[in-house]
Structure 1
Amino acid sequence: MSDQAILRITREISQIQHSTDLSIAVDYDESDIRHVRAIILGPPETPYQFGLFEFAIKFGKDYPARPPDVRAQTTNGGSCRFSPNLYAGGKVCLSILGTWNGERGEQWSSAQGLESVLISIQSLMSSNPYENEPGYEHAQSPSDQENMEQYKFKIRHETIRIAVIQPLEVALDISPDGARKTTVNPYPEDDDSSDNEAVTYSTPFFDLRKRRFLWYYESYLQLIETESRFIKEKSPFKCMPFEHTNNIMDGHFDYPELKRRLELVKEKILHETEHWRLQGLQAKKDELGIAVNLQRQFEQIVENLKHHKNYSLDLTLVDENPFLWKLTYFGRPTTALEGGIIKIRMHLSPQFPQEQPRVFVDTRLPHIRVSQQGVLCYITPKVEDLRRHIEAIVATLEDDDPPYDPRMTVNPEASKLFWGAPEDRRKYKRALRRDVEKSVEDAFD
């Protein structure tokens, strides 16, 4: 591969990694940048909603003259076909990849790149994937209409099971089905020692999966509740006309079991988060570099707040632990939080910045960006700079009129009011105002 091609791949990876796009994320093999892993977020309002689908990408020596090779990894060890275009064996049927004969103008061109490939794959995760199968684009018969609904039912179930729960059970060492972390090459022809039968997941994405799980936990629960009303427990999946042996989504519905596993994953993530505090105290005692770094960043931020006479935010360390920060935000005039006293915890990992902060709002707040569990959903482009995290936390809380983005909808009930009818928006504001006023009473209890 030419130096020019390597530079281009490096640039394309960097652009995605430094983007605030919540839909895609990438990581690469440091020993060979041609081998890339990617995560694609299942689009909202589709059967794939908030699933995290993993793909292995290999750039050939002739890139960008020819497209990269892409293989789906979220297949339950090669046993689950997630759509007419995403085969159980990992094949991704897409015209720009040369794996499907598309219309004129849909083929690969060197003007395209990694991001366009990932966006095109995400477009395959549509609201009605049944119609993605050639010959079924305009299916109208009663049997086809029934199949469409049944297909969506089982995709929603398997998205929660395979694209949400299973990888996290591996990350948390609670996997019940033999799935494991992976360091193997996803291309078995390049590595005779790789175990192609095992269900494998990439370690670099474990932190992303955990943070997104905390964001979307209530949405997952809501989906389970809704689907359980229509689905008989233990009933088998219906086979679609285009599904065949070894390339099928087979199984049965068991939402009570998914709910149990979902709750266990949440428990384990929260336990891990609390354990960071204890690890942090030990790291401080041992004078490890990460403890010194976090202490220094804390002191610089506090000094900066004093220098700019910023009285809306008070920052302290809990038990003088640089891995657990306590923020007290005093609601500024003209914002929805005016006059409130909002208490926030920021947990930091001994692996920061590889593992990102987990932020919890301890004050009850029916806010669109604060889950009912208190998890704050925010993003920052400079993940290694804690000052930018603090700024992003405040900006998120103060944003009274954010654009609609279901990927940042972590409080379904509050969001339903906020983006509902005018009367619903007024209910949202009244509920928020009531709890902001109560925050002052609670602060002095």
Structure 2
Amino acid sequence: MNQAIIRLTRELNDLQKSNDLSIAVACRDADIRNVRAIILGPPETPYEFGFFEFSLKFGRDYPAKAPNVTALTTNCGRSRFNPNIYAQGKVCLSILGTWRGERGEEWSSAQGLESILISIQSLMSSNPYENEPGFENASHDHDKENMKNYVLKIRHETLRIAVISKLEDFLGINPDGTLQPEVAPRTGSYENGDESLMEPEGAPFEPFKDLCKRRFMWMPFEHSGNAMEGRFMYQELKKRLEFVRERLNAETANWAKEGKVAVQNESGVAANLQRQFEQTVEHYKKETSVTVDVELVDENPFLWRVTYFGRPMTNLDGGLFNIELAFSPRFPDEQPRATFLTPLYHHGITTDGVPCYFPAKTDEGRSHIDAIVSLIEDENPPYDPRCQVHQEAAKLFWGTPEQKKEYNRKLRRSVQRSMDM
């Protein structure tokens, strides 16, 4: 048993420190052998944008034996997203011993948590219909039509179940579009500086709630001119997407109000953010390689206003951009949310101003600012479809030389407009 826990602890730490944008893992401190994992649907597949959760139960004999894996994103056992992932949660993989595979594909102690999740992720292909036994090389017209319909159904249900329903649940939105009473703002007592904004005892284990909210704000739901037409219920899904985004914006705005209560009650988070703000201001006063001003909005340490001045001799030269950084009273468990108040045409910033960035230190406000600056100044970022949050800009940026020139023209125009705002 000690060997299993030592091995699992190392694997969990490695995954939590990795830069993989599509896999995350978590467990309760007192129950390390029961692991929760989330896989984000791969780009250019019908699973794209989806949040798919799994439960992995590791026995005392791990790694000699594979864990028991159960799919949790099943619409209460009503939806099957893949021929190898059943509605009741069974995951068919040869390395798990739940599917007969070729010799050498069975479980070995050399495999582990990461290899299991990558194997599951590989099932989420652009044409999952081929995972069905006997249809690996389907060529008949009837089969091709089935393939097409299968993909269309998965794409629709991924959006409905693995994105919208999950966010609605996190935000307390009922199926009829009303809000659940318990979604009322959590103010907490902050008695003696003790934060009481944590989830109540006995609450469901939801380790990926903040991750899903942040990733949702990056999602560019702009296909087909944003009309979202189709044979399914896309118009209804569009309304639900818009309401989810509206509730996320309201939640972010409420952080500032909660923060003022935290300041009045001298909470530890408030004191920490005030100290971080003061240190950040001093840092940028001494920093000569970048010009950034930071101030508090209404003297509230939970709401920072960042002003970035474009670096000379770059495409951002002369630009002046205001960025708002909102902090949660549960920081760093809930990560801050950044918004460009000054529009900037950029492949890493959504059309409504949310930057897609990754701070080196998630618990430091300055690290978030540094990461945002690095995002907009990097002229040669690596290609990663998971970070293309502005589809038109991304297509131009990674397109032909002429398209890249058009991207630079649009970027410069947005920089020039920032001078007039």
Tell me the TM-score normalised to structure 2 length: 0.91
What is aligned with 2:305?
326
What is aligned with 2:210?
207
Cα distance in 2 between the residues matched to 1:224 and 1:61: 53
Evaluate the alpha carbon distance shift between residue 381 and residue 101 of structure 1 in structure 2; reply closer, same or farther with a 3 A threshold: farther
Cα distance in 2 between the residues matched to 1:333 and 1:365: 17
Contact preservation (8 Å) 1:298, 1:322: yes
CA shift digits 1:32-61 (9 cap, x unpaired): 100111110100000001111000111111
Give the gaps of 5 or more residues in structure 1.
181-199, 233-252
**SS of 1:343's equivalent?**
strand
What is aligned with 2:200?
none
**SS of 1:74's equivalent?**
coil
Cα distance in 2 between the residues matched to 1:341 and 1:213: 27
What is aligned with 1:51?
50
Contact preservation (8 Å) 2:290, 2:311: no
Contact preservation (8 Å) 1:16, 1:26: yes
Q: CA deviation at 1:310?
A: 5.4
Contact preservation (8 Å) 1:19, 1:381: no
Contact preservation (8 Å) 2:360, 2:371: no
| Equivalent residue letter for 1:12 | E
What is aligned with 1:351?
330
**SS of 1:332's equivalent?**
coil
What is aligned with 1:70?
69
Contact preservation (8 Å) 2:323, 2:338: yes
Evaluate the alpha carbon distance shift between residue 148 and residue 380 of structure 1 in structure 2; reply closer, same or farther with a 3 A threshold: same
Please say if 1:299 is aligned against 2:278: yes
Cα distance in 2 between the residues matched to 1:411 and 1:297: 31
Please say if 1:267 is aligned against 2:246: yes
Cα distance in 2 between the residues matched to 1:203 and 1:224: 34
What is aligned with 2:344?
365
**SS of 2:315's equivalent?**
coil
Q: CA deviation at 1:222?
A: 2.1
CA shift digits 1:322-355 (9 cap, x unpaired): 1111111111123321221111111100011110
What is aligned with 2:84?
85
| Equivalent residue letter for 1:204 | P
What is aligned with 2:196?
none
Evaluate the alpha carbon distance shift between residue 341 and residue 258 of structure 1 in structure 2; reply closer, same or farther with a 3 A threshold: same
Contact preservation (8 Å) 1:42, 1:50: yes
What is aligned with 1:430?
409
What is aligned with 1:239?
none
What is aligned with 2:126?
127
Evaluate the alpha carbon distance shift between residue 162 and residue 177 of structure 1 in structure 2; reply closer, same or farther with a 3 A threshold: farther
Evaluate the alpha carbon distance shift between residue 135 and residue 201 of structure 1 in structure 2; reply closer, same or farther with a 3 A threshold: farther
Cα distance in 2 between the residues matched to 1:108 and 1:51: 28
Please say if 1:256 is aligned against 2:235: yes
Cα distance in 2 between the residues matched to 1:207 and 1:377: 15
Q: CA deviation at 1:319?
A: 0.9
**SS of 2:305's equivalent?**
strand
Q: CA deviation at 1:301?
A: 1.4
What is aligned with 1:196?
none
Contact preservation (8 Å) 2:284, 2:291: no
Evaluate the alpha carbon distance shift between residue 311 and residue 380 of structure 1 in structure 2; reply closer, same or farther with a 3 A threshold: closer
**SS of 1:25's equivalent?**
strand
What is aligned with 2:192?
none
Evaluate the alpha carbon distance shift between residue 376 and residue 211 of structure 1 in structure 2; reply closer, same or farther with a 3 A threshold: same
Tell me the TM-score normalised to structure 1 length: 0.86
Q: CA deviation at 1:227?
A: 5.7
Please say if 1:18 is aligned against 2:33: no
| Equivalent residue letter for 1:397 | I
| Equivalent residue letter for 2:343 | R
Q: CA deviation at 1:279?
A: 0.7
Alignment length (residue pairs): 398
Give the gaps of 5 or more residues in structure 2.
181-202
Please say if 1:286 is aligned against 2:265: yes
Q: CA deviation at 1:201?
A: 7.6
Question: What is the aligned-residue RMSD (CA, Å)?
Answer: 1.9
What is aligned with 1:400?
379
What is aligned with 1:190?
none
Contact preservation (8 Å) 1:224, 1:259: no
Q: Which has the higher contact order (CA 8 A, sep 6+)?
A: 1
| Equivalent residue letter for 2:215 | R
CA shift digits 1:57-100 (9 cap, x unpaired): 11111100111111000000011110001100100111111111
Contact preservation (8 Å) 2:292, 2:309: yes
Q: CA deviation at 1:391?
A: 1.2
Cα distance in 1 between the residues matched to 2:212 and 2:290: 35
Which moves more between the two structures, 294-303 or 265-274?
294-303
Evaluate the alpha carbon distance shift between residue 391 and residue 225 of structure 1 in structure 2; reply closer, same or farther with a 3 A threshold: closer
| Equivalent residue letter for 2:85 | L
Which moves more between the two structures, 67-76 or 377-386?
377-386
CA shift digits 1:238-282 (9 cap, x unpaired): xxxxxxxxxxxxxxx211111111110000000000000111111
CA shift digits 1:109-159 (9 cap, x unpaired): 111111111111000000000001111000100100000000000000000
Evaluate the alpha carbon distance shift between residue 201 and residue 74 of structure 1 in structure 2; reply closer, same or farther with a 3 A threshold: farther
Contact preservation (8 Å) 1:224, 1:255: no
Q: CA deviation at 1:312?
A: 0.9
What is aligned with 2:296?
317
What is aligned with 1:171?
170
Q: CA deviation at 1:420?
A: 1.6
Cα distance in 1 between the residues matched to 2:349 and 2:390: 6
The equivalent position to 1:409 in structure 2, one of 382, 388, 413, is 388
Which moves more between the two structures, 432-441 or 288-297?
432-441
What is aligned with 1:222?
223
**SS of 1:433's equivalent?**
helix
Cα distance in 1 between the residues matched to 2:233 and 2:205: 27
**SS of 2:55's equivalent?**
strand
Which aligned segments of 4 or more residues in structure 1 are displaced greater than 4 angstroms?
223-227
Cα distance in 2 between the residues matched to 1:317 and 1:310: 23
| Equivalent residue letter for 2:223 | Q
Evaluate the alpha carbon distance shift between residue 223 and residue 5 of structure 1 in structure 2; reply closer, same or farther with a 3 A threshold: farther
What is aligned with 2:189?
none
What is aligned with 1:418?
397
**Identity %, equivalent residues:** 58
Contact preservation (8 Å) 2:228, 2:235: no
Q: CA deviation at 1:161?
A: 0.6
Q: CA deviation at 1:380?
A: 2.0
